[in-house]
Amino acid sequence: MTLLVRWLTASELEWANSRYAEVDFLPSPASDLVAVAELNGTAAGLGRVTHIAPGIGELGGMYVFPEHRGVGASKSLIQFLISQSNLATLYCLPFEHLDGLYQAAGFKPCDPGPSVPGKVMEKHAWCNARYPDPVLLMCRAALPPVS
Ligand SMILES: CC(C)(COP(=O)(O)OP(=O)(O)OC[C@H]1O[C@@H](n2cnc3c(N)ncnc32)[C@H](O)[C@@H]1OP(=O)(O)O)[C@@H](O)C(=O)NCCC(=O)NCCS
């Protein structure tokens, strides 16, 4: 099995958004950094980082197509987005039952408060109103440079 992750091309955005509609996820604007996981050359899932403010993003839109689940595609998408988005701070709004998946990638539960960007707080409230499953607020900060 070959699993690789790459950036979505501009011509694939409409396709990606039609896949997101299947799971009632918001469509991505062209400004999102969207990644595609491919299993043996076939598209298997999507993930994205939305730019929030300088150095800050929101990682989400994790959707592995049903026939490709359980082989690590979401873990690879998360690692790719963390390493390639080049943002020091990433927020994430995962469903509660996926806590362990995101903690394993370095995300920690985060208290809502004035240090959290308004856009992230608004999306968190929106998600909790929209989806039946509780949605967490998590954050991952870059490690300080080694001196
Ligand atoms: C959640 C989802 C992205 C997982 O994708 P996946 O490629 O099958 O996940 P992976 O194979 O990379 O598994 C990664 C880890 O997450 C865990 N995991 C996956 N689905 C899980 C679930 N429904 N509940 C709890 N843990 C789960 C796996 O057990 C695995 O843990 P391990 O490393 O300790 O074995 C996929 O089921 C999906 O697209 N669901 C519908 C959309 C959705 O809910 N997206 C998440 C939004 S926050």
Q: What is the secondary structure of 10-51 as a DSSP string?
A: GGGHHHHHHHHHHTTPPPPPTTSEEEEEEETTEEEEEEEEEE
How many whole angstroms from 41 Cα to the centroid of ligand 1? 21
Q: Which of 11, 102, 84, 96 is nearest to 48 (CA)?
A: 84
DSSP string, the chain: --EEEEEPPGGGHHHHHHHHHHTTPPPPPTTSEEEEEEETTEEEEEEEEEEEETTEEEEEEEEE-GGGTTSSHHHHHHHHHHHHH--SEEEE--BGGGHHHHHTTT-EE---STTS-HHHHHHHHHHHHH-SS-B--EEEEPPPPP-
84 residue type, one letter: Q
Residue 45 CA from chain centroid, whole number: 11
Q: Would you state the pLDDT for residue 133?
A: 97
How many whole angstroms from 114 Cα to the centroid of ligand 1? 31
Evaluate whether residue 14 is within a structural domain: yes
Q: Would you state the pLDDT for residue 142?
A: 72
Evaluate whether residue 147 is within a structural domain: no
Evaluate whether residue 49 is within a structural domain: yes
How many whole angstroms from 66 Cα to the centroid of ligand 1? 11
Q: What is the pLDDT of residues 70-120, one digit of tens each?
A: 999 999 999 999 999 999 999 999 999 999 999 999 999 999 889 999 999
Which ligand 1 atom is nearest residue 23's CA?
42
Instruction: Reply yes or no on whether the pLDDT at 144 is more than 80.
Output: no
Segments forming the whole domain that contains residue 10: 3-141
Instruction: Reply yes or no on whether the pLDDT at 25 is more than 70.
Output: yes
Q: Total structural domains in the chain?
A: 1
Q: Would you state the pLDDT for residue 143?
A: 64
Evaluate whether residue 146 is within a structural domain: no
How many whole angstroms from 74 Cα to the centroid of ligand 1? 6
Q: What is the pLDDT of residues 125-138, one digit of tens each?
A: 999 999 999 999 99
Mean pLDDT of the chain: 96
At 13, which CATH number?
A: 3.40.630.30
Q: Would you state the pLDDT for residue 11?
A: 98
Q: Which protein residues touch ligand 1 with a CB less than 6 Å away?
A: 23, 62-64, 69-75, 94-95, 97-98, 101
